[in-house]
């Protein structure tokens, strides 16, 4: 596994782009574009010293890790649609972030982040530098850092009020359409902080250990998700991660972990911001794209490798996933490589 050491947040970002082989392309109107025609794209806006927003949709080609040795804190918000980031502790590789919405007040002191090959990453992250938060943002809205004492530093909270995820989804659209501005970023920072400090958020975080964590909509009904339900939903997520190429229906998965189909279906959607089918299919199609780029297997072999017994069904699923048939995707990527 390739490994580097970062002594600042800026150096950390540079090392990540280097090891992920996603190169700087250009900067325009505050947007910085990083791209690899074969692996994907990362777009960032802003400055890590104040407010920064980023979106990414890319594949990791090789295992790598980055050790960080610097004292910087950030208030992070985000939605991870696909991909798992790991940390290395006492020689063990542990899953650190998984597909979900999240919020955390992180004190980056010392540690090791790791990425595994053949994973597809997609998501948005919005970060507010801690010094900027304390010295500029909070005083401007009549708030203080003492109001944040209801949650713990370096804890990733993955159950957020819907209004926070709605703001993040809106920011994702601004980034995709390249209409983010400094004023929008500042307004979003204020909105996210106010939502975080709102009574519904406080109640949600303080109820972390309570029996009932969240009430969600299941069609016209309300259902309660408690800590045991959440553990089982996470267990299904891990099952899919380890056996995405096997055909498993929602009833099969629900029976395997001992949860109702309704709680599993709607709880998974609420927690991971995608359906079970979409999550499983993203893993399958990401693997298929990797195998196509690797150029060693036939389409029939690839379709079987990712769990499709019908080559036609695989073709249709792949085209729906990326907008191109497997053949067109392979031809396009080959032309990109030849032009480099």
Question: Are 8 and 119 members of one domain?
Answer: yes
Based on the domain organization, do 176 and 67 belong to the same domain?
yes
Distance, CA of 193 to CA of 75 (rounded, Å): 9
3-state secondary structure of 167: helix
Q: Which of helix, strand or coil describes residue 156?
A: coil
Candidates 65, 58, 63; CA nearest to 12 is 65
- CA 274, CA 270: separation in Å to the nearest integer? 8
Coil, helix or strand at residue 133: helix
> Are 76 and 182 in a shared domain?
yes
pLDDT in the model for residue 267? 87
Query: How confident is the model at residue 91, as a pLDDT?
Result: 66
Among residues 273, 289, 306, the one where a domain terminates is 273
Backbone angles phi, psi at 136, to 5 degrees: -125, -55
Same domain, 195 and 219: no
Phi-psi region of 308 (alpha: psi -120 to 50; beta: other; left: phi over 0): beta
pTM above 0.75, yes or no: no
DSSP string, 249-308: -HHHHHHHHT--HHHHHHHHHHHHSS-HHHHHHHHHHHHHHHHHHHT-S-HHHHHHHTT-
Q: Based on the structure, what is the number of domains in the chain?
A: 3
Tokens of 247: 């055909």
Beta bridge partners of 88: 93
Count the helix, strand and coil residues of the chain and give each as a percent rounded to the nearest 5.
45, 30, 25
Same domain, 30 and 166: yes
**Statement to judge: residues 200 and 230 lie in one domain:** no
The verdict on 216 and 201 lying in the same domain is: no
Structural domain containing residue 322: 279-339
**Does 194 lie in the same domain as 172?**
yes
Longest dimension (CA), the chain: 62
Same domain, 227 and 310: no
Q: Which of 152, 176, 206 is at the close of a domain?
A: 206
pLDDT, position 108: 65
Identify the bridge partners of residue 145 per DSSP, sorted by sequence position: none
Question: Do 195 and 222 reside in the same domain of the chain?
Answer: no
Regarding whether 287 and 246 lie in a shared domain, the answer is no
The per-residue b/e assignment along 284-321, b for 16 or more CB within 10 angstroms, e otherwise, is bbbbbbbbbbeeeeebeebbbebbbeebeebbebbeeb
**CATH code of the domain covering residue 293:** 1.10.10.60
For residue 124, the domain's CATH number is 2.60.120.280
Q: What is the mean pLDDT of each run of 10 residues along the chain (340 residues)?
A: 84 90 89 91 93 93 86 88 76 71 80 84 93 95 90 79 89 94 96 93 65 69 80 82 80 92 88 83 83 81 87 89 85 65
Cα separation, 240 vs 301, whole angstroms: 21
Residues 284 and 174 in one domain: no
CATH code, 224: 1.10.10
pLDDT confidence of residue 90: 65
**How much is the pLDDT for 209?**
44
Domain end residue (candidates: 206, 225, 257): 206
């Amino acid at each position: 596994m390739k490994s580097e050491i970062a002594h600042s947040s800026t150096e950390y970002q540079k090392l990540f782009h280097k090891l992920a082989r996603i190169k700087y392309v250009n900067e325009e109107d505050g947007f910085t574009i990083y791209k690899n025609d074969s692996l994907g794209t990362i777009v960032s806006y802003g400055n890590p010293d104040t407010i920064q927003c980023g979106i990414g949709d890319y594949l990791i080609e090789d295992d790598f890790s980055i050790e960080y040795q610097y004292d910087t804190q950030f208030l992070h918000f985000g939605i991870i649609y696909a991909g798992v980031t790991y940390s290395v502790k006492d020689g063990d590789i542990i899953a650190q972030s998984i597909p979900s919405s999240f919020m955390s007040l992180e004190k980056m002191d010392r540690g090791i982040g790791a990425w595994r090959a053949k994973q597809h990453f997609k998501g948005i992250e919005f970060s507010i530098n801690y010094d900027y938060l304390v010295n500029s943002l909070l005083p401007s809205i009549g708030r203080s850092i003492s109001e944040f004492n209801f949650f713990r530093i370096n804890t990733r909270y993955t159950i957020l009020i819907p209004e926070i995820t709605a703001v993040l989804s809106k920011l994702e659209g601004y980034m995709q359409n390249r209409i983010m501005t400094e004023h929008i970023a500042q307004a979003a920072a204020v909105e996210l902080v106010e939502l975080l400090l709102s009574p519904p958020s406080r109640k949600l975080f303080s109820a972390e250990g309570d029996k009932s964590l969240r009430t969600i909509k299941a069609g016209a009904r309300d259902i309660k998700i408690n800590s045991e339900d959440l553990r089982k939903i996470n267990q299904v997520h891990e099952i899919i991660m380890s056996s995405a190429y096997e055909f498993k229906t929602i009833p099969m998965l629900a029976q395997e972990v001992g949860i109702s189909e309704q709680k599993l279906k709607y709880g998974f959607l609420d927690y991971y911001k995608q359906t079970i089918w979409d999550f499983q299919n993203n893993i399958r199609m990401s693997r298929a794209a990797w195998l196509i780029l690797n150029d060693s297997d036939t389409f029939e072999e690839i379709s079987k490798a990712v769990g499709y017994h019908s080559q036609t069904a695989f073709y249709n699923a792949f085209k729906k996933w990326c907008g191109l048939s497997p053949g067109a995707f392979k031809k396009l990527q080959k032309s990109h490589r030849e032009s480099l």
